[in-house]
Chains A and B, each alone.
Chain A
Amino acid sequence: MVNFLINNFSGPLNSFASIIEYVIGHIEGMLAFPHPLILIILFSLLAWKLKNIKLSVFVALGLALVLNLNMWEPLIITLASIMTSVIVALVVGIPIGILKAHNRAVDLITRPILDFMQTIPPFVYLIPALMFFGLGNVSGVIATVVFAIAPPIRLTYLGIKQVDTELKEAGHAFGADWWQILLKIELPSAMPSIMMGINQCIMLSLSMVVIAAMIGAGGLGKPVLRSLNVVDIGLGFEAGLGVVIIAMILDRMFGRD
C-alpha cells in the first residue's frame, strides 16, 4: 500500500514536502539571522509582554545558559521545526475541529482516526514518514504534526460543542448567518479551550524532538541521540537541558496562568 501511495501520490506529496521545507527554512533563517544576544533580548521582551517580568528574567537566563552550552544552533533548528509543526497542526487542526463540531459525519470519521493517531507509538509512523519524505527535517515535522494535531482538533471541537445554546440562539434571533455565528459567538466562546489545545500541541511537538532525530531531523534531538550511541553523559545532559529549558519557556509563555 505504501508503494502504491508513493507511486501515485508522489507529486502532491512532494509539493507538500517542499512547502514545509520552505516554511522551516524561512523560520530558521529568520531566527539564525540576528545575533543570539539580540534574539535572547527579543524573546525575553516577548515573555514580559505576554506574561510578566519574572518569566522574562527566566527566559533570558535560560537562553543564555543554552548559548553558553554551545547548543544555540541546534536550539534554533528545534525551535524552527516546532514552530513549523505547530503552525501546520493548527492550520489543519482547528478547521477540522470546527467541522467536526458542526458535522456529524466528520465527527464520526475523525474520531477513530484521532484515537489511532493518539495511541499508536510514534516510532511506528516514523517509517512511512521516512519513505514518503526521505531523511531530514521535513519527515520530522510530518511525524510531529501527526503526533501533535489531535489536541487542537479535539479541544476546538469540545470548545465549540460547549458554547451555550442560548448564545447561539441569540445570534440566530438577530439574524446572524453561519459565519457570523462562528466568528462572533462560537470561536470567541471556545477560545479558552482552543488556547489549551494550542498549548498541548506545542508541548507534544517538543516531546517529539528527540524521536524525530531518529529520522534525521536536526536540532537538540540529534546530540541527545548521538550521546546515547557513544555513551557521552555530558553531551546528553547538555542537550537534554536545552530541551527542558525550551519546553519550560514555551509552556510558560503560551500556557494559561
Chain B
Amino acid sequence: MKIKVKDLYKIFGKNPQKSLSLLEEGLSKDEILAETGDTVGINDAGFDVKEGEIFVIMGLSGSGKSTLIRCLNRLIEPTRGKIEIDGTDIMSLNKNELREFRKEKIAMVFQNFALFPYRTVQENAEFGLEVQRVEKKEREKKAKKALKQVGLEGWEDQKPDQLSGGMQQRVGLARALAVDTDILLMDEPFSALDPLIKKEMQDKLLDLYEHIDKTIVFITHDLDEALKLGDRIAIMKDGEIVQIGNHEEILTEAENDYVKEFVQDVNRSRVLCAEDIMDKPVALLYYEQDGLHTALHKMRKHDLSSIFVVGKNRKYRGIVELEEVVSSLNRKDKSIDDIIKKVPAADPAENLDDLFAQIADLDTPLPVLDDSGKLKGIIVKTTVLANLAGKNLK
C-alpha cells in the first residue's frame, strides 16, 4: 500500500475536540454546527491507495474532497487520524521533516492552476526544483523534460497569462512532474477547463500515466471523469466516504441512495437525443418542382438508395426509394405521387434507446421532424448503433 488513511477527522472551528466527541456520540453535522459552531470537514475517512494506481475521490462541492486531499500532505492539518505514506506516519512529522517529505514524495496540481504570473512557463516548471535548491543547469534540464512530456515545447519563455486554460494546466502538471515524486495529488485539475480541452487533458494524463511510474490521487466532481481515469473510486458525501470500489462496483452496486442518485443523474445527462446525432441530408427532392428524372439523377449523383421529399419550407412529405423510381420510369409514369411512402418520423428530443427501437426494422433513414412537420435532419441506423456502443464502452 502506498497511502493508508485511517479514522481521519477534520473539524474546522474553535472547539475541535469537543465537536469530535459530539461526533462520536452520534450527533449530525448540522447539530454540531448548532452546538459548537464548528464545521465537520471530514468525518471518519479511511482508505488505501495502491502503488501505481489512479485513485479518484469524487463528490459534489462541499463534500470535503478538497479538504481530504490536502490532509494527505498536511496542507490542512487533520484534527485526528492516521495517515501513512510509504510506511511513514505523516502525522508524526515535525515542520522540517514535513517540508522534506513534501519535496521528496508528493507533488500537487491545483484546480485554478496556481501558476506564478510573474514567472515564465519554464521558471514555473522549475519552481519545485528551485525550492529543493537543485543546481540551475539540472533544474533547467528537468523542467524542459517535464514541459516536453506535457507537450509544451517551444512555450518556455511565455508568461502563463499568454496561454489558454488547458495549456496553463499543462504547466501546472509539468511543475508537478519536474520534481519527480512518487505521488501526484490532483485537486480537480480539469474542472476549470471547457469540455473539449478537458477531454484532451484527460487523454494526455492517461497517456502520461502509461509512461511514468506514479501513484495518483485525483479529485473530481464529474462521474464521467472518475470512470475514465480512476482505477478505483471513492465517493464522498458530507465529509464521509460513502463507497469505495472499481467502476463496476460503483455503477452496479450503488451502496446507498446518494450514490444511486449520483450515478443515475450522470447517466441521464449522458443520454443523447435525436437532435444530437442527426445528420443533414445530402440531397432532398422538392415536391413542387422535381419529378422522377430529377429523383433518379439526385440519387445516382449522391449514391443514395432513397431520398426524402419535402414541400414548401422543407415540410416533410415522404420518401422515395430507388427501385420504385426506376420501375415507375419504366412504366412511363410522370409523377412521384404514387411512390411516395410515409415512414415513421422521430422527434428531435427523442432519446437514443427509443430511436433504436424505431430504426431497428426500418430499411430507410429515420427523418427527424420538428413540431410544424419540418424536416430537421435524418438519422441512419449506423449512427444510432455507434452511439449506443460508445455509451456502453464507457
Contact = CB atoms under 8 A, between A and B. Distances in A.
B99 A173 contact: no
Nearest to A187: B118
A185 B118 CA distance: 9
B271 interface: no
Nearest to B70: A169
B108 A170 contact: yes
B40 interface: no
Interface stretch (B7-15, B126-134, B239-247, B305-313): B126-134
Chain A interface size band reads 10 to 19
A38 B75 CA distance: 57
Interface string A157-168: 000000010110
B79 interface: no
A191 to B, nearest CB: 7
B118 A175 contact: no
Interface string B164-194: 0000000000010001000001000000000
Interface in A69-84: none
A174 interface: yes
A175 B110 contact: no
Contacts of A184: 116, 127, 130-131
A180 interface: yes
Interface residues of B, number: 25
A257 interface: no
Contacts of A164: 114
B100 interface: yes
B123 to A, nearest CB: 10
B99 A175 contact: yes
Contacts of B110: 166, 169-170
Interface in B100-133: 100-103, 106-108, 110, 112, 114, 116-119, 127-128, 130-132
Contact of B131 (A169, A174, A188, A191): A174
B107 A173 contact: yes
A188 B128 CA distance: 17
A225 interface: no
Interface string B68-110: 0000010100000000000000000000000111110011101
A174 B179 contact: yes
Nearest to B105: A175
Contact of A174 (B103, B117, B118): B103
Given A175-B102, A175-B132, A169 B114 contact: yes
A130 interface: no
Nearest to A191: B118
A164 B116 CA distance: 10
A115 interface: no
A226 interface: no
Contact of A175 (B117, B131, B185): B131
Given A164-B114, A185-B116, A191-B118, A173 B132 contact: no
Given A175-B131, A184-B130, A170 B102 contact: no
A99 interface: no
B335 to A, nearest CB: 72
Contact of A166 (B99, B106, B114): B114
A177 B102 CA distance: 11
A169 B110 CA distance: 9
A172 interface: yes
B97 to A, nearest CB: 11
Interface centre among A167, A177, A189, A191 (most CB of B within 10 A): A167
Contact of A173 (B108, B116, B117): B108
Contacts of B101: 175
Given A166-B114, A189-B118, A174 B75 contact: no
A176 interface: yes
A172 B98 CA distance: 10
A170 B114 contact: yes
Contacts of A172: 75, 102
Nearest to A177: B99
Contacts of A174: 102-103, 107-108, 127-128, 131, 175, 179
B72 to A, nearest CB: 10
A171 B99 CA distance: 11
Contacts of B108: 170, 173-174
Among A169, A172, A173, A177, the one with the most B-chain Cβ atoms within 10 Å of its Cβ is: A173
B102 A167 contact: no
Contacts of B132: 175
Given A184-B127, A184-B130, A173 B102 contact: yes
B118 A188 contact: yes
B118 A173 contact: no
A175 B103 contact: yes
Interface in A38-74: none
Nearest to A170: B114
Nearest to A165: B114
B102 A188 contact: no
Given A166-B110, A173-B108, A180 B131 contact: yes
13 contacts: A166-B110, A170-B127, A173-B73, A173-B106, A173-B107, A174-B108, A174-B127, A174-B128, A174-B131, A175-B102, A180-B131, A189-B117, A191-B118
A-B pairs with lowest CB-CB distance, top 4? A175-B103, A175-B102, A170-B114, A173-B108
Interface of A: 164, 166-167, 169-177, 180, 184-185, 188-189, 191
